[in-house]
Structure 1
Amino acid sequence: MAPNSPADPLAKGTIATAKQSFRDLFTWRQRVVVSNERGETYTEWQDPDPIRNPISLFAQLSPRDWLFFLVGLAAWTADAFDFHALSIQTKKIADYYGRSKTDITTAITLTLLLRSVGAACFGIAGDKYGRKWPMVANLIVLGVLQIATIYSATFEQFLAVRSLFGLFMGGVYGNAIAMALEHCPSNARGLMSGILQQGYSMGYVFAACANLGVGGSTESWKTVFWIAAGLSIAVGVVRIFFPESQQFLEAKVRGHKQGASPREFWRALVAMLTQEWRMCVYCIVLMTWFNYYSHVSQDSYTTFMLTQKELDNSAASRASILMKTGACIGGTVIGYLSQFIGRRRAIIASAVISGCLIPAWILPESEAGLSASGFFLQFFVQGAWGIIPIHLNELSPPGFRSSFPGITAQIVNAIAEKTFITKSNGRRVEAYGPVMGVATAIIVTGMVVTTMFGPEKRGRSFERAVAGVESTEEVNVVRLRVSAEEDKDIEMGDVTGRK
């Protein structure tokens, strides 16, 4: 491996950064900002991490790290199951309330819009009170709201409950990601990020399996919601038995525990936005594309198979399961490869390939054809998504990871229900396939362009970083004090299993 060589510093300004990022996309070596022991920073070219045996990467995580990772993964999976319990049963619920499918996807829209509000609110709560108890509260309340959905007698009550659901759903992702990846070794980040993100796909697969198991009767949607409620509450209870995050303990040592005033928090937030506003805007734009990308390609796909392709509930559920199985595999594989080929190259390649697969995704008529094409399309859709947790960690200040989910599901259903195509047997059906295909092609183009001109900080060291602490010396002092606190907690019997 060639020795690292000096690189010109990171560009300043929006246009200069875009030009530098575009050039770096065609340079195999990675431009990395390095900090030395004195806190000085400089930029150098580094070779990409070599492809390593995944088993050796898994072995770098301690048993405690694995437990935290698995609980974070379980929380994200339960959160996704809760959401997809609705999206995968749109037709059943529409029939139950006597409304159109577009009316039902209004609930999806409200959930996604209010999820971002919930993420902001519970992010502040996590900064002030720690990540543990906000996450426990989120999961248990989500379970209760799933039960409340079952007992919603009118469509208006249904929408009100799903709005509240969105607020609490937003608080899970950030805490789950932080819990799972906080202590992940640098060269294992891509692989573990890919696995973690697939909690979303696993939630979809479990929801589809539950939908398949309960059958196609109109009332059967309630059983899936009962299962979702039990899963969320169970994971919330399990989280109670794990200690607080290392990040919050370090913040507590610096005096930012419950005594910190809201004014201090907002002052820090304003300072961050003033300094990092370009990065925040870029991440919001990127995540807007990503949320459209996933929701366009999945939320209406089961409805598409039931209506335009006229499959029965069992066939559509089986195809959905295979589709999201491809997502789970793709997210893991491409997340792992991003450690070697780079985050942006992996995202762009996945997006382009998924765009090429659009015709094969919407044209088949049989269950087998739809299953196979859905498998491969979602392999690359969620392959790109598998990179996102660690890519955002490396780009953004840890306390401000957020996304703007969008309202894609409602747009697709509204357009499709007003657009019809004539099948070969002469029947006119709602045109979900063409609408999803055109929308996905537009989104893929936007994603590729945005990613090509955006930054990448693969290899960035953030384990030593502590929010609000400027120098390396201060960081070391904080960590020594945290270790002392942990030793004290262990002696008192308050914390178990911590290294």
Structure 2
Amino acid sequence: MAPYFIRNLIPRREKRVGTTPLVKVLRSLTWIQWAQYFSGWFAWTCDAIDFFAVSLSVSNLQTQFHKDTKSITTAITLTLLFRSLGAVLFGVISDRYGRKWPLVGNLVLVACLQLGGSFVQTFPQFLALRSLFGIGMGGIWGLAASTSLENLPVEARGIASGFLQQGYAFGYLIAAVINLYLVPSNSHGWRSLFWMASGLSFLAAFVRAILPESEFFVKAKLAEKAAGGPRKNKTKIFLRETKVMLQSHWKLCIYAVLLMTGFNFLSHGSQDLYPKYLTEGKLLSSHTATVATIIGNCGAISGGIFAGWLSQYIGRRLTIIIHVLWIGAFIPLWILPSKFGPLAAGAFFIQFGVQGAWGVIPIQLAEMSPPAFRATFPGVAYQLGNMISSASAQIEATGGENLRTFVTNNKGEREEVPDYAKVQGILIGCVAAFVVLITIIGPENHGSHFEKHKTAFEEGGGADEVAQDPSTMSEKGNPERSSSTGSTGEVDNDLPEKV
């Protein structure tokens, strides 16, 4: 254990030989592959629009329901708490029945709940709708990531992961633009933002519905047919293979939840209360705060795409660590200034680091996951981390109420305000240190050909067996998950089972 830990203190550069150039790989993709990738990205983008509709509407919701900031952020906490339930439900359905229709149904459910949330009249009704909404939201990330990545060549998955994850930042950006221009210009106020979010989710469901099933599941169905037709006991097989997977990978499951707890604190701690931090802690106008949010999300999108590309060459963990250290370096610029220009610059650089590190997560979790459970495992790990970090906005709101400071307002007068800057700086600094540590000691399976393994409803899926591919079998007949040298060269030999 000691040599393993020491060996991972400095994540080594991946050695990649004989690879196909990225541009050539991208040119070789079919329109179906592009369309399926886009459908997953669009679904994740809509998830972000739906979620941040509340963050951007905190002040309007306070006026609507006559509640303080801490009470309104309860809606954010409840949404995050219930997302893990949705991840389990929709992840299991997807790994058992396929990627297409579970994602379509998931998006339709989210769209309906978002629409319902826009018509509530009381605060308890709003909290109830956002709790149910969390269940719907919980399934989208795992299904969207598996839909997008499993149909792409290995060489394209790094940059594809970065762009996919930035659907989250892009969704926040779209929500901020809607909030900036549409909400103030009509009599329905914050409800119009919810209506737009609901409509986009319905559109994402339609896009996925007109596309074919994932090639991974199509091949599994064809193999099943060639072997004598569908089996009647597939559900029993699925449950048995799930048990085998949990027995083999329980340490990996715990590690993945800890990793995603850190990442979700990093994300939600720097985003959920950010508009409120600018308006109450820095006394900026709502319009100016929204513009700063848009600038921050531009940094997030560029950071995520860059990190995804970089991770294909220097490895997943090293890329994450570099971007988290970047966050630490820019915390002072993020919290110390009082003018719009420096604050917007701080938002850009902080989100470049936050979403840069996040840009690696979809492919890191997909490669780390037991191959047959690529929808369930990443989705549940992600949402359990969300659940643990669900109180981040309330923690910051409570901290701001109890930790006060004085700033100079537009009239030149000293005014007492919540010290959200110090609260967020301390929280993000501690979380960044935790993420660096948990990333260093974790596994990496860079370049894994997870698409070659059996599905969760096939015997051997829980044991990570390769599907009809003798060339990847070891002498004992077991699949060599980490020996995918055909397209990526040498990969990390630190298997997840060593966690």
- Calculate the TM-score normalised by the size of structure 1: 0.84
Residue 141 of structure 1: aligned partner: 109
Q: Deviations over 1:287-325 (max 9, x none)?
A: 110000000011111110111111111111111001001
Q: CA deviation at 1:214?
A: 2.7
> Is the CA contact (8 Å cut-off) linking 1:21 and 1:453 kept in structure 2?
yes
Residue 64 of structure 2: aligned partner: 96
SS in 1 for 2:417: strand
1:281 maps to amino acid? I
Alignment of 1:396-415 (within 5 A): 396-398=369-371, 399=373, 400-401=377-378, 402-403=381-382, 404-405=385-386, 406-407=389-390, 408-415=392-399
CA change 1:417–1:263 in 2 (3 A) is farther
SS in 2 for 1:474: coil
SS in 1 for 2:450: coil
- 1:357 aligns to 2:325 (yes or no): no
CA change 1:426–1:116 in 2 (3 A) is same
Residue 431 of structure 1: aligned partner: 419
Q: Distance in 1 between matches of 2:138 and 2:231?
A: 22
- 1:69 aligns to 2:57 (yes or no): no
- 1:162 aligns to 2:130 (yes or no): yes
Residue 205 of structure 1: aligned partner: 173
Q: CA deviation at 1:57?
A: 4.3
SS in 1 for 2:452: coil
Q: Deviations over 1:105-155 (max 9, x none)?
A: 111111111111101011111123322111111111211111111111110
> Is the CA contact (8 Å cut-off) linking 1:60 and 1:185 kept in structure 2?
no
Alignment counterpart, residue 434 of structure 2, candidates 446, 454, 461: 446
CA change 1:299–1:244 in 2 (3 A) is same
1:74 maps to amino acid? F
Residue 239 of structure 1: aligned partner: 208
Alignment of 1:274-423 (within 5 A): 274-398=247-371, 399=373, 400-401=377-378, 402-403=381-382, 404-405=385-386, 406-407=389-390, 408-423=392-407
* Count of residue pairs brought into register by the alignment: 445
CA change 1:257–1:411 in 2 (3 A) is farther
Residue 468 of structure 2: aligned partner: 474
SS in 2 for 1:428: strand
Alignment counterpart, residue 125 of structure 1, candidates 93, 97, 120: 93
SS in 2 for 1:114: helix
Q: Distance in 2 between matches of 1:270 and 1:418?
A: 47
Q: Deviations over 1:413-452 (max 9, x none)?
A: 2221232111144200011111111000000000011111
Unaligned runs of 5+ in 1: 1-14, 31-46, 478-499
Residue 230 of structure 1: aligned partner: 199
Q: Deviations over 1:465-496 (max 9, x none)?
A: 1233566573579xxxxxxxxxxxxxxxxxxx
> Is the CA contact (8 Å cut-off) linking 1:140 and 1:233 kept in structure 2?
yes
Alignment of 1:445-464 (within 5 A): 445-464=433-452
Q: Distance in 1 between matches of 2:10 and 2:122?
A: 56
> Is the CA contact (8 Å cut-off) linking 2:306 and 2:356 kept in structure 1?
yes
Q: Distance in 1 between matches of 2:448 and 2:9?
A: 17
CA change 1:347–1:279 in 2 (3 A) is same
Q: Deviations over 1:195-214 (max 9, x none)?
A: 11100000000000001013
- 1:23 aligns to 2:23 (yes or no): no
> Is the CA contact (8 Å cut-off) linking 2:35 and 2:211 kept in structure 1?
no
2:404 maps to amino acid? F
> Is the CA contact (8 Å cut-off) linking 2:48 and 2:169 kept in structure 1?
yes
Q: Distance in 1 between matches of 2:169 and 2:196?
A: 17
Q: Distance in 2 between matches of 1:50 and 1:409?
A: 47
Identity score, percent: 40
Q: Distance in 2 between matches of 1:297 and 1:431?
A: 14
- 1:176 aligns to 2:144 (yes or no): yes
Q: CA deviation at 1:24?
A: 4.3
Q: Distance in 2 between matches of 1:55 and 1:21?
A: 36
Q: Distance in 2 between matches of 1:49 and 1:210?
A: 46
Q: CA deviation at 1:219?
A: 5.0
With 291-300 and 177-186 compared, the bigger mean Cα shift is at 177-186
CA change 1:457–1:471 in 2 (3 A) is closer
Q: Distance in 1 between matches of 2:245 and 2:465?
A: 17
1:376 maps to amino acid? F
> Is the CA contact (8 Å cut-off) linking 2:151 and 2:216 kept in structure 1?
no
SS in 2 for 1:427: strand
Unaligned runs of 5+ in 2: 472-499
> Is the CA contact (8 Å cut-off) linking 1:194 and 1:336 kept in structure 2?
yes
Instruction: Give me the CA root mean square deviation.
Output: 2.3
> Is the CA contact (8 Å cut-off) linking 1:300 and 1:409 kept in structure 2?
yes
SS in 2 for 1:451: helix
CA change 1:163–1:472 in 2 (3 A) is closer
Q: CA deviation at 1:259?
A: 4.3
